[in-house]
Each structure stands twice: as C-alpha cells, then as structure tokens.
Amino acid sequence: MAHHDFDFPITEQQARSLRVNDTVTLQRSLFGIRDATLIHLFDRGRTTRFDLNGHAVIHTAPNVKPVPPSSDHPAGYAPLCVGTTTSARMERFTRALMSDYGVRIIIGKGGMGKETLAAFSELGGAYLAVVGGAAALETTWIERIEDVDMDDLNPESLWRFAIRDFGPLLVAMDSHGASLYDAVANGAQARRDQALRSLGVRT
C-alpha cells in the first residue's frame, strides 16, 4: 500500500507501478471529460487540440462561472464546484482514450468494467477512486481552469484544470488485473443467498 506523488504527464512505467489499495496525490494538470465529450470525440469524429499523452482524465462536468479572462482565469471561467460523476456509463471509451490519446489515468467514482481493466493491462493504466459527492472538498484541490475545448458542449466541455495536491486518491483498478470493485461485487454476490435466507426467502 504505497503512496505515489505524480506530476503530470507520467510514463507508462509510472502507471504500471500502481497497485490497488495504493494511494496517489496528483500535481500540475488534469483533464475533465464526460459523456458528451467522449461521444463527440469517438462517435462523431471530432478531435481536440489538447495533448492528453501521459495525462489523467477525470469524469466530471463542473459548475463554473463565466468571468473576464485573467491570469487567475485564463479560460474565462471560475471553477465553482468541481466533482466526479459515475464512471460506468463511459466504459466503452477507455480503450480509445488510451490508444488514440495516450491517457494513462482515469479518475472517477463507482468503478469501471472488464474492458477498462483489460485496456489497463495491455496499454498501462489505472483507475483512481474519488469519493463521489465530495465535490466541495475536491474543488479545493483545483487551482484554476487553464483552458477549455469543445465548449459548445458546456458543461460537458473538455476542461484543463491546474491542480495542487489533488487527493490522495485510492487506486481501485490497476494494470495487473486487479479491481477492488470486482472483489467487492464478487463477495456481495456470494453473500446474496445468505441475505435472502435471513429475510425468510426460499432460495
């Protein structure tokens, strides 16, 4: 259960050094993506001017306030509340994010599935768990919104956040085939019949 301090971008070797139950604190930069961003990138043939190679993406769509551009708000947006959404909906996009754009780390909540785990093993990546719903706290880890692309999809734009001491976050899926979500789900499924018997259900 090691702790890692990652300054982005990172290498494949760094991503592969992560093991479930390790913790990671992220520094420097982080990209925000979401359902519409991914649908437009991978189903509708759009591209982004951002270089995501070696970077981390977080499943988010922040509350922002339009403000005049300044050094504090280079993109013309002040971050009000930046949190994390349920990752499972975006399962089919992980591999393409990694193979086409070089993304190394996915940050989300609730976990992802088999395709994502396979992509992590083959290409070198990991999933970090944010505590969903703890967005007020998460927002204190965001320094500013550096840049934004595909902003016609607002709030589901592609966001580039400047971050400081983002985390610590739990490694919940790694490149060695381990997923805390699978372990918990398998355990819960194994306890299903006992739970039903406790309710007097004939199983």
Nearer to another protein by C-beta: 10 or 90? 90
Other CB atoms within 10 A of residue 56 CB: 27
Query: Which residues, other chains included, contact 151 with Cβ-Cβ below 8 Å and sequence gap of 6+?
Result: 157
87: helix, strand or coil:
coil
Q: Using alpha carbons only, give the angle 164, 40, 150 rounded to the nearest 5 degrees.
A: 50
Number of residues that bind another protein (CB under 8 A): 53
Smallest gap from Cβ 12 to another protein, in A, equals 26
Closest CA to 95 of 79, 75, 114: 114
Asked whether position 85 contacts another protein by CB under 8 A, the answer is yes
Question: Given the rule CB under 8 A, which of 46-54, 120-128, 136-144, 158-166 is the region that contacts another protein?
Answer: 136-144
In 2-102, which ranges are E strands?
Answer: 3-7, 23-33, 56-59, 63-66, 77-81
Q: Between 91 and 130, how does the x/- string for binding to another protein read (CB under 8 A)? A: ------------------xxx-----------------x-
Interface positions with another protein (CB under 8 A): 21, 36, 60-65, 80-86, 88-89, 109-111, 129, 131-140, 154-155, 170, 172, 180-181, 183-185, 187-189, 191-192, 194-196, 198-202
